[in-house]
Structure 1
Amino acid sequence: MIPIVELSRIMASGFVPLSCDCSVNPEGFLTIRVFEPESGRVDLLLTGVSPQGLDSIRAISNLIGELRTELKAGRRGFAAFG
């Protein structure tokens, strides 16, 4: 997996003008939160995301594309993506 700092930077660039935070829990799974920066309103929250396969810019870009599709569909959150 790409280091979490780099992953967060790449993910954030894919959701502008929204903001995106990524964190790793003690079990090694990701939490991804996409939110409106001024109000703090969370538009998408994912927990338990496996970092397996997120080892390239292409893989992360594919994930961003999938998550943007979820946002457009109006889904606000789900767990264990990927």
Structure 2
Amino acid sequence: MISIAEFSRIMASGFLPLACDCTQNVDGSLRISIFEPESGRVDLLLTRVSPEGLDSIRSISNLIGELRTEIKAGRRGFAAVG
């Protein structure tokens, strides 16, 4: 996987004008929160995303596309992805 800082930067740019906060859990999984920055409304929260396979801009872009689809479908979160 690429660094969490680079992953966060790519994810944030993929969800503009929404904000995206990405952190790494102690077990190595990722926590991803996509939200409206002015109101704080959370559009999608993923608490345990496996970083496996997220090793290129292409794979992260594919994840962004999948998550945008979930947001449009009205899903707000998952317990785990991957």
Which interval holds the TM-score relative to the shorter structure? over 0.9
Q: Give TM-score, length-normalised by structure 1.
A: 0.98
- Give the C-alpha shift of residue 79 in structure 1: 1.8
Partners of 1:37 and 1:21 in 2: CA distance: 11
CA offsets 1:7-35 (integer angstroms, 9 cap, x no match): 00000011000000100010000000000
Partners of 1:81 and 1:26 in 2: CA distance: 16
Alignment partner, residue 73 of structure 1: 73
Matches within 5 A, 1:11-22: 11-22=11-22
Alignment partner, residue 7 of structure 1: 7
Confirm whether residue 57 of structure 1 aligns to residue 57 of structure 2: yes
Letter in 2 for 1:10: I
Letter in 2 for 1:12: A
Letter in 1 for 2:13: S
Partners of 1:31 and 1:79 in 2: CA distance: 10
Secondary structure of residue in 1 paired with 2:23: strand
Which runs of no fewer than 5 residues in structure 2 stay unpaired? none
Secondary structure of residue in 2 paired with 1:47: strand
Which runs of no fewer than 5 residues in structure 1 stay unpaired? none
Matches within 5 A, 1:15-34: 15-34=15-34
Aligned residues: 82
